[in-house]
Structure 1
Amino acid sequence: MPATHPPRRISALALTALLVTLAAVPAAAKQPGADRGGGAGHCGSPARLQVPGAERQEAACLAELTTAGTVSSGHTDPADWAGLTPAGLTTPRGVPGIQIDGYFPDSSATNTNHGWKHDAQFVIRLPDRWNGGLVVAGTPGVREQYANDRAIGDWVLSQGYAFASTDKGNTGAAFYRDGAEPGDAIAEWNTRVTQLTRAAQAVAAQRYHRPPARTLATGMSNGGYLVRWQLENHPELYDGGVDWEGTLWRTKGPNLLGFLPPALRAYPTYAAGGEGADKARQEMVAAGFPAGSEFLWPYHHQVYWDLTQRIYREELDPGYDGATEAGTPFCAPGTPACDADYAYATRPREVRDAVRKIALTGRIGKPLITLHGTLDVQLPISKDSDVYAKMVRGAGRGGLFRYYRVEGGTHVDSLVDTFPGKLRPLVPCHRSAFTAMEAWLDRGKQPPPSRTVPRPETTDPATLLARCRLTGQ
């Protein structure tokens, strides 16, 4: 994230918590003479484009819309996407077009990109060679609008899609300060994705003289949650979505306020070794953290679990610690208002009312593909996507859904560089899922059945980063 943020600054990598094959393009793109901007040539008068509802916008004609060019031109912020992808991820090149940066009216000011100090910022990228489609994303964690640029934006742009991303309306570790009531800050995330989708569809129609033939929602972590919510609540805006380890919010649970406190209680005892270590490990596994993921626990305890619990609990249950803001970092169990002792099930009804504002139902209205790593210890799969898959099927929407559990995948792909023999990156699995969604929509070709995708026998990093077969290794 940018260098300046509200109090309780943490590393960009930490903010990823709550918060990642070439594609067949839409049928409209397969016609001879692919659309080159409605015949207007390179860029085609970007100043005439107007983002509906935007309070501010700045359009630029760029020789390169991917991070191969936007880093040097100043049209992205590498801090927004730091730590989300493996170091060896290839950067596509050769995508000229228009970029529009701006913001919608908002009263909060956590996002300092461009020196604007204004939230509800967005970026819209319109390639000269358009395949007729639009991809819309919300960001992982509490990051800003460029957070998807490396993991998602570069690749979909290289396939010819227009791409739009939003900061969700509030950012940073103190995002919970936004909104009048508990739950309002997260609820705004959903509103901002809906707002940007409508605006980006209109801008694409202005640029290319026809509306998008297809709109897809995608995102990781909190961005994956937003895909789920949009397809449940605004299916009319989308043709489908790809959910990459989305966060699960349920009024009765499970949700992260239920499985993080046990980790905060048990992990220190496990790490200390000695007589109570094995019992503490069993408590961690019972809370949802998979056996075999122990090598990931030290890092997540240091970087993710404590911070995530405190800031999301503050957003949804600020009364737990009284006047204290977002608790006491790494407090000892038994101390007053310690988040390690938090028990969601015993909290007042008002807390569940706050969660209800953002809760998922499983009632998706358009095709959805979900992928999730089996070694995710930020959003453990048994407490998250396994549950959401049952919700979708229980709602009678199983025909619209595919779910791929990816062996060896974890929440943040950059950790593959730290543990190359134990983890596999999810970014190629996301691309395979995206390609499968295209084939599903284009040709009615059913994606592979929901399954656990085995970890390949090879541990060659280049091979793992280049391929993820949903039908096998």
Structure 2
Amino acid sequence: MPPTAPPGTLLRRGRPARSIRGALALTGLLVTLAAVPAAAESSAAAPSGADGGNSAAHCASSARLKVPGAEHQEKSCLAELTTAGTVASGHTDPADWAGLTPAGLATPRGVPGIQIDGYFPDTSATNTNHGWKHDAQFVIRLPDRWNGGLVVAGTPGVREQYANDRAIGDWVLSKGYAFASTDKGNTGAAFYRDGEEPGAAIAEWNDRVTQLTRAAKSVVAQRYHRPAARTLATGMSNGGYLVRWQLENHPGLYDGGVDWEGTLWRTKGPNLLDFLPPALRAYPRYAAGGEGAGNAHREMVAAGFPAGSEFLWPYHHQVYWDLTQRIYREELDPGYDGATEAGTPFCATGTPDCDADYAYATRPREVRAAVGKIALTGRIGKPLITVHGTLDVQLPISKDSDVYAKMVRDAGRGDLFRYYRIEGGTHVDSLFDTFPDKLRPLVPCHRSAFTAMEAWTDRGKQPPRSRTVPRPDGADPAALIAVCPLAR
């Protein structure tokens, strides 16, 4: 077996160095103006909008736009900024957002405007979109018919910058918002190779959202000749974590945020390194049946996986739990398995250095220091709405948003917070297509929360009280995709 690191030792295995702080200092410099791609030129016929219906003016206005701090940028004048057009024109990547939305989700159309693709200075190269092999990629979309607002998002999981296009981008663009999204500075299952020390790769995610928000605000002012009247942060899963972190640490950049099942990181727990190992230990015994299955089931429930969610466990064990535990543990505690990188997939409990036996509470203080770099406090400085499904078995609600809601209240920020527990919601909406009789998609609940945030920040209208939103009895699947009222 690979050698085990001595207690307290945190190994790094040749991660490429990078300095986001230095990149942020380059604001206003290193801006490259690239020619519009041929695909963009061929789709440049834009209908009337902010430029008075003059297509030439619509396209010409893009020439002066510069993304502060960008090392490279490409501008495209598009007849359609939503995925109804960007899939065909090559201005999105469906692989980035695959599996995140229900198949029946409608795609809005009729949003002409300008798209800017590019990247900020970075030395890691996990993102291969556009053949650039360069991280810190971003997309900024500027609709002709602008409503005065800007929405900024980081991506879920370890996906690339187009991951929010179907679930979030299409809808906010159809409402008239400018929209910006970042790949967070590193992507893919080996994201942990980025950074110079444990926790640095995830910490970069926060810096990249801050960087993009500042740059997108500048671009919006250039394009529309006035600053955004409102800037909202939103995102799902890791993207929801980024919303929380931004409103805790840079509230002055935003008017509010909508957190869709954000990941919770706390130095003392709970965090996913607490509840995933028990699932990896117990689930195989539960699935095997026999006399040990009852105890295994009780262990799963005690770890946070609610009774009633059992139908989701096989898929998550196969696809999510093992991989998630190993790669995030490698990012925050690489010394656990010595020279092995990200552990042994689906190892049996009792195997040396097996992630199923990982015990976060017993690990050296250096591990909690790594988590401390990315930890949340609950001290939000602007309005925040959280939505989270009660049947989430990737980030169980009792170990995540229930805890974060208490953190916000304990920090004395409860007046800035609303929390909606969505009965029947799970972590990825595509599973609704498989279990329409048991689940409900969260995408319409996110949209209801976003609409409530608009009224809260624009007019001071208080959102409905925090509550558990019940799944309607006998609900029609089409209706569940379309609506999710937050009030009683």
Confirm or deny that 1:99 pairs with 2:106.
Answer: no
2:193 paired with 1:182: no
Any residues of structure 2 matched to 1:186-335 within 5 Å, and which? 186-335=202-351
SS in 1 for 2:58: coil
Distance 2:130 2:362 in 1: 44
In structure 1, what is the Cα distance between the partners aligned to 2:59 and 2:265?
41
Distance 2:392 2:300 in 1: 13
Q: Which residue of 2 aligns with 1:397?
A: 413
CA-to-partner distance for each residue in 1:36-89, whole Å, 9 max, x for gaps?
A: 159975344212100000000000000000000000000000000000000000
Match of 1:378 in 2: 394
Which residue identity lines up with residue 425 of structure 2 in the other structure?
G
Unmatched segments (≥5 aa) in structure 1: 1-33
The TM-score normalised by the length of structure 2 is 0.89
Selected match of 1:351 from 367, 375, 398: 367
Return the alpha-carbon distance in structure 1 between the equivalents of residues 372 and 270 of structure 2.
13
Q: Percent identity?
A: 88
Letter paired with 1:350: E
State the match for 1:160 in structure 2: 176
Aligned equivalents of 2:106 and 2:75: distance in 1?
27
Identify unmatched segments of 5+ residues in structure 2: 1-47
TM-score (norm 1): 0.92
Q: 1:44 to 1:132 in 2, by over 3 A?
A: farther
- The one-letter amino acid of 2:482's match is A
In 2: Cα distance, 1:122 partner to 1:414 partner: 25
> Does 2:484 align with 1:464?
no
Closer/same/farther in 2, CA of residues 181 and 274 from structure 1, 3 Å limit:
same
Aligned to 1:435: 451
Give 3-state SS (helix, strand or coil) of 1:355's partner: helix
Shift of 1:329: 0.1
Alignment of 1:36 with 2:43, yes or no, is no
State the match for 1:448 in structure 2. 464
- Looking at structure 2, the residues matched to 223 and 38 of structure 1 have their Cα atoms a distance apart, in angstroms, of 36
Distance change >3 Å, CA 449–CA 43, structure 1 → 2: farther
Q: 2:456 is aligned with what amino acid? A: W
- SS of 1:45's equivalent in the other structure is helix
Q: Secondary structure at the match of 1:169?
A: coil
Letter in 1 for 2:61: S
Q: Secondary structure, in 3 states, of the residue corresponding to 2:366? A: helix
Aligned with 1:368 (options 384, 389, 392): 384
| Distance in 1 (alpha carbons) for counterparts of 2:416 and 2:312 | 34
Match of 2:125 among 106, 109, 122: 109
Residues 402-440 of structure 1: CA deviation (Å, up to 9, x unaligned):
000000000000000000100000000000000000011
Instruction: Tell me the residue number matched to 2:101.
Output: 85
Indicate conservation of the 8 Å contact 1:56/1:104, yes or no. yes
* Structure 2 residue aligned with 1:340: 356
Residue by residue over 1:169-199, the C-alpha shift from the partner in whole angstroms, topping out at 9 and shown as x without a partner, is 0000000000000000000000000000000
Report the aligned-residue RMSD: 1.1
Over residues 356-381 of structure 1, what are the superposed CA-to-partner deviations in whole Å (9 max), with x where a residue is unaligned? 00000000000000000000000000
What's the counterpart of residue 134 of structure 2? Answer: 118
Cα separation, 1, equivalents of 2:390 and 2:337: 33
Q: 1:348 to 1:37 in 2, by over 3 A?
A: farther
Give the whole-Å Cα distance in 2 for the aligned partners of 1:441 and 1:342.
43
In structure 1, C-alpha distance between the alignment counterparts of 2:53 and 2:147, rounded to whole Å: 14
> Does structure 2 retain, via aligned residues, the 8 Å contact 1:250–1:360?
yes
Q: Distance in 2 between matches of 1:154 and 1:456?
A: 27
Residue 17 of structure 2: aligned partner: none
Q: Distance in 2 between matches of 1:191 and 1:429?
A: 28
Q: 2:61 matched to 1:55?
A: no
Answer yes or no: is the 8 Å Cα contact 1:404–1:450 preserved in 2: yes
> Is the alpha carbon distance of 1:356 and 1:455 closer, same or farther for their aligned partners in structure 2, counting shifts above 3 Å?
same
Please give the residue correspondences for 1:112-151 in structure 2 after superposition, counting only pairs within 5 Å: 112-151=128-167
Q: CA deviation at 1:395?
A: 0.2
Give the 3-state SS of the residue equivalent to 1:210 in structure 2: coil
Cα distance change on mapping 1:336 and 1:434 into 2, 3 Å: same
The 8 Å contact of residues 37 and 208 in structure 1, kept in 2 or not, is answered as no
Amino acid at match of 1:56: H
Is the CA contact (8 Å cut-off) linking 1:38 and 1:207 kept in structure 2?
no
Aligned match of 1:424: 440
Using the alignment, how far apart are the partners of 1:65 and 1:417 within structure 2? 26
Given the superposition, is the C-alpha separation of residues 142 and 37 from structure 1 closer, same or farther in structure 2, using an over 3 Å criterion? Answer: farther
Cα distance, 1:441 vs structure 2: 1.2
CA offset at residue 350 of structure 1? 0.3
In the alignment, the residues of structure 2 paired with residue 117 and residue 37 of structure 1 have an alpha-carbon distance, to the nearest angstrom, of 35
Work out the number of aligned pairs and report it: 439
Q: Which protein has the larger Cα radius of gyration, Structure 1 or Structure 2?
A: 2
4+ residue segments displaced more than 3 Å: 37-41
The aligned amino acid for 1:258 is D
Alignment partners' CA distance in 1, 2:121 and 2:457: 35
The answer as to whether partners of 1:35 and 1:131 remain within 8 angstroms in 2 is no
